[in-house]
Amino acid sequence: MEVDPPAELAPILEAASEFASYPGLQNDASAKEFLDRFPLHELFGVLQSKADVPGVEDTIVSCLDKIFRTKYGASLLPSYAPFIQAGLQANSQTVRCLACKAVSYLLDITTDRVAALQVIVAHNIYPLLLGCLVDGDEKTSAASLEAIQSIAQSPEGINIIFPANGEEPLLIKNIAAQSSSLGRIRILALVAKLFSLSTSMATAVYNSNLLNLFEIEIKNGHDVLTILSALELLYELVESPHSSMFFLRTTLLQLLINMIRDSSVDSILRSRAALISGRVLSSSVAYTAVDISSVTAVVVAIDERLQILGSQKSDETESALEALGLIGATSQGATLLLKSSTSVARHVVEAAFDHHSRGKQLAGLHALASICGADRPEDSIVLDDAAEESLRRLIYTIAANAPKFKPSGLILSTLRQEPEIRLAGYRLVSVLAVRHWFLVEICSNQEIITIVTDAKIETEKNGMDARHQCCVSISKALSSSNLLQDATFAGIAVKLQEAVRSGPYRAKDQHLEAHPVVMTAERF
pLDDT in tens, 108-144: 887 788 999 999 999 999 999 999 999 999 999 999 9
Distance CA 205, CA 161 (A): 10
Distance CA 289, CA 246 (A): 8
Q: Where are the beta strands (DSSP E) in 264-384?
A: none
- Tell which residue, 143, 140, 247, has the closest CA to residue 192: 247
Which amino acid type is present at position 220? N
Task: Judge contact between 298 and 253, C-beta under 8 A.
Answer: yes
User: Does residue 439 fall inside a structural domain?
Assistant: yes
Any residues with CB less than 8 A from the CB of 125 and at least 6 apart, and which? Answer: 81, 84, 85, 88, 103, 119
**pLDDT score of 403 more than 50:** yes
**pLDDT score of 50 more than 90:** no
Distances (CA, A) of 455 to 28, 449, 503, 506, 513: 55, 12, 9, 6, 17
- Tell which residue, 155, 129, 151, 126, has the closest CA to residue 141: 129
Distance CA 477, CA 438 (A): 10
Q: What is the largest CA-CA distance in the chain?
A: 99
Q: Give burial (CB, 10 Å; 0-12/13-18/19+) of 303.
A: buried
Task: Judge contact between 433 and 442, C-beta under 8 A.
Answer: yes
Distance CA 337, CA 346 (A): 10
Compute the chain's Rg from CA coordinates: 31
Last residue of a domain, one of 402, 436, 465: 402
Q: Give burial (CB, 10 Å; 0-12/13-18/19+) of 263.
A: exposed
- Tell which residue, 237, 267, 265, has the closest CA to residue 252: 237
pLDDT for 5 = 55
Task: Judge contact between 442 and 449, C-beta under 8 A.
Answer: yes
Distance CA 399, CA 34 (A): 76
**188 vs 10, more confident:** 188
Distance CA 181, CA 62 (A): 31
**pLDDT score of 280 more than 80:** yes
Which amino acid type is present at position 117? L
User: Does residue 215 fall inside a structural domain?
Assistant: yes
Same domain, 140 and 235: no
> What's the pTM value of the predicted model, to 2 decimals?
0.86
Distances (CA, A) of 511 to 209, 334, 454, 455: 61, 43, 14, 11
Domain count, the chain: 4
pLDDT in tens, 423-475: 999 999 999 999 999 999 999 999 999 999 998 999 999 999 999 999 999 99
User: Does residue 170 fall inside a structural domain?
Assistant: no
Task: Judge contact between 152 and 106, C-beta under 8 A.
Answer: no
Same domain, 63 and 108: yes
Same domain, 248 and 395: yes
Q: Lowest-pLDDT range, 170-174, 348-352, 388-392?
A: 170-174
User: Does residue 408 fall inside a structural domain?
Assistant: no
Number of C-alpha atoms within 13 angstroms, CB side, residue 362? 15
**pLDDT score of 10 more than 60:** yes
Task: Judge contact between 330 and 284, C-beta under 8 A.
Answer: yes
Task: Judge contact between 147 and 160, C-beta under 8 A.
Answer: no
pLDDT in tens, 292-305: 777 889 999 999 99
Same domain, 185 and 289: no
User: Does residue 140 fall inside a structural domain?
Assistant: yes
Distance CA 274, CA 364 (A): 15
Q: Lowest-pLDDT range, 65-79, 271-285, 378-392, 470-484?
A: 271-285
Q: Find how far residue 156's CA is from the centre of its chain.
A: 29
pLDDT for 2 = 47
User: 86 lies in which domain range?
Assistant: 1-161
Query: For residue 101, what is the DSSP state?
Result: H
Same domain, 248 and 236: no
Angle at 338 between CA 336 and CA 344, to 5 degrees: 95
Distance CA 499, CA 362 (A): 26
Distance CA 166, CA 263 (A): 40
Any residues with CB less than 8 A from the CB of 341 and at least 6 apart, and which? Answer: none
Last residue of a domain, one of 360, 377, 402: 402
Residue 251, SS3?
coil
Same domain, 66 and 151: yes
Same domain, 155 and 19: yes
pLDDT in tens, 341-387: 999 999 999 999 988 889 999 999 999 999 999 999 999 999 999 99
Helices (H), 162-211: 167-178, 181-197, 199-207
Phi-psi region of 503 (alpha: psi -120 to 50; beta: other; left: phi over 0): left
Same domain, 207 and 298: no
Last residue of a domain, one of 372, 402, 432: 402
User: Does residue 122 fall inside a structural domain?
Assistant: yes
Quick one: CA dihedral 496, 498, 501, 503, positive or negative? negative
Number of C-alpha atoms within 13 angstroms, CB side, residue 228? 10
Same domain, 246 and 385: yes
User: Does residue 506 fall inside a structural domain?
Assistant: no
Phi-psi region of 20 (alpha: psi -120 to 50; beta: other; left: phi over 0): alpha
Same domain, 33 and 115: yes
**pLDDT score of 183 more than 50:** yes
User: Does residue 19 fall inside a structural domain?
Assistant: yes
Same domain, 347 and 364: yes
Query: How would DSSP label each residue in 445-511?
Result: -HHHHHHHT-TTS--SHHHHHHHHHHHHHHHHHHHTSSGGGSHHHHHHHHHHHHHHHH-SS--GGGS
Same domain, 54 and 1: yes
Angle at 312 between CA 308 and CA 313, to 5 degrees: 130
**386 vs 56, more confident:** 386
pLDDT in tens, 479-518: 998 888 888 889 999 999 999 998 888 654 444 444 454 5
Which amino acid type is present at position 215? E
pLDDT for 170 = 82
What CATH number is given to the structural domain containing 79? 1.25.10.10
